[in-house]
Amino acid sequence: MSGHSHWATTRRQKEVKDARRGQVFTKLARAITVAAKKGANPNDNPALRLAIDKARLASMPSYNIKRAIERGAGGSGGDALEEVTYEGYGPGGVALLVECVTDNRNRTVAEIRNVFTRHNGNLGEAGSAAYVFGDDPKNPQFKVPVDEELAAKLAGLVDALEGQDDVQEVYTNAE
């Protein structure tokens, strides 16, 4: 047995699950808010439509979706969020592109730099790694082959980056 109280075990498991779900909802709400700045009608705004579809797939409540759209369309606090892209290199010279939505650039860059440093990577200047990805971050122009050991280190870096609240997407040119 894991202790003398079944409820204590259940409560701890529920708290962990709720915390993860809350992080996902926060990321999705930020994506909806940023997309809604370009138009609050999902039929006219494909980015908003995609963000709403992702939110529904994650079982995000509809009132949370509506609130995020209102915030992005000019309601309370919608002006504070902005999209930021950071570039850097991970172990083995693998290029990384990190897309973020933040309300505080200074905090976000400090967190991203810290993650890169802890995982033997370097946060680069604007344009230092973007050329690798060209116009589409999902079809890099060239890929870097990685062995099993390097892949494990790189996976740790990507997981740590994706664990940050402000990070929306992480792209690499690892093969």
Is pLDDT at 106 greater than 70 in this prediction? yes
Quickly list DSSP for 103-143.
S-HHHHHHHHHHHHHHTT-EE--TTTTHHHHTT-TTS-SS-
Tokens 């890929």 correspond to 143
Cα gap 166→99, rounded to integer Å: 9
pLDDT > 70? residue 3: no
Task: Say whether pTM exceeds 0.85.
Answer: no
Domains and CATH numbers, the chain: 6-80 (1.10.10.200), 82-172 (3.30.70.980)
Residue 80 above 90 pLDDT? no
pLDDT tens sequence across 32-73: 988 888 888 899 999 999 999 999 999 999 999 999 998 888
pLDDT band at 77 (very low <50, low <70, confident <90, very high): low
Point out which residues pair with 84 in neighbouring strands.
Answer: 100
Tokens of 156: 């740790």
The overall longest dimension of the chain from CA atoms, in Å, is 58
**Strand, helix or coil at 83?**
strand
What average pLDDT does the structure give for the chain?
86
Q: What are the φ and ψ backbone dihedral angles of 110, each rounded to 5 degrees?
A: -65, -40
pLDDT of residue 50: 92
